[in-house]
Chain A
Amino acid sequence: MKFGVVMFPGSNCDHDTYHVISKVIGQPVDFIWHRQNSVADCDAVILPGGFSYGDYLRTGAIARFSPVMGAVKEFAARGGLVMGICNGFQILCEAGLLPGALLRNKNLKFICKHVNIRVEATDTPFTNRCQRGQVLSVPIAHGDGNYFCDPDTLAELQRENRIIFRYSDRSGNLTSEANPNGSLDNIAGICNRERNVLGMMPHPERASEQLLGSSDGRIIFYSLADTLAELAKAS
């Protein structure tokens, strides 16, 4: 089993993610440079947070044309596990691997704080260790996290149970006060139809050690590691 963390120019959560996978979860992990046109022998690929290519034009808009994204698309098409965190989520949307777009936060502010997210589905490789309705305390740090899609797409996401995380209060109530950025339907994370590509705005890698205020986020990396272990056993 091996994880890959993509490094774009401007990524700034790549080392945090690498650290959590290697030191907290204790699994093998490699960096994947944005100029590489393959994901090598990685079994799960993470697009980390940051400001790829300065987020010029739109968030994630230039990163999606980098050579590695061609490889990530192919990898995802053959069922490879791909997770985009924050800027990674924005890149996945721009690349068309996930529907919708992330708009400027409704209050126009860059928001950096702990929020609560409710786990809405556990039948994914990223949340299989969670309980449905479980509330995780995980920080957000973004200026463009306001999830938007057209009404048909939203209905499809709801119908197919592809909204994986929603912003909630500590008790799991979906209130507008708990929605930090104006996202449609309190959406904090979604997956693709095949459920092997996940995008989420909150940063689980920043909440994987109690020293940093919360270790709730590590369950996502443990879920991924469990999935990869099972896949390895099966093959």
Chain B
Amino acid sequence: MKAKIYVTLKPSVLDPQGKAIHHAVETIGYRGIQDVRQGKYFVVIIDDSFSREEARAQIERLARDVLANPIIEDYLVELDSDS
């Protein structure tokens, strides 16, 4: 089973990398880009012997305890059913 985890800085946390990208994107002529936020994307393969609920619980815990720092980051977990 495949899980995708997206980690992004909380909206209240300044993202200087996103700002720099936004600025560059405007400089090279893209129009109408209102904001850019940069984040991280993880792909985790979990043993098929786990039930969907077990897998989700495990991945949620992994995201909260390791992949994201809840002081500064939010995370989103997606479980892929088709793999």
Binding site for B on A (CB under 8 A): 57-58, 61, 65, 93-94, 99-101, 103-108, 148-150, 182
Contact = CB atoms under 8 A, between A and B. Distances in A.
A104 B21 CA distance: 15
Contact of B71 (A57, A101, A106): A101
Main SS class of interface, B: loop
B69 A58 contact: yes
A101 B16 contact: no
For this complex, into which size category does the number of interface residues on chain B fall? 10 to 19
A57 B72 contact: no
Interface of B: 12-14, 16-17, 20, 66-67, 69, 71-72
B13 A148 contact: yes
Contact of B20 (A100, A108, A148, A150): A108
B65 to A, nearest CB: 9
A182 B20 contact: no
25 contacts: A57-B66, A57-B67, A58-B69, A61-B66, A61-B69, A65-B66, A93-B71, A94-B69, A103-B13, A103-B14, A104-B16, A104-B17, A106-B14, A106-B16, A107-B16, A108-B16, A108-B17, A108-B20, A148-B13, A148-B71, A148-B72, A149-B71, A150-B12, A182-B14, A182-B16
A-B pairs with the 8 shortest C-beta distances? A101-B72, A101-B71, A108-B16, A106-B16, A104-B16, A101-B69, A58-B69, A108-B20
B5 to A, nearest CB: 12
A100 B71 contact: yes
Contacts of B71: 93, 99-101, 148-150
A108 B21 CA distance: 12
Contacts of A101: 69, 71-72
Contacts of A150: 12, 71
B24 to A, nearest CB: 12
A103 B20 CA distance: 15
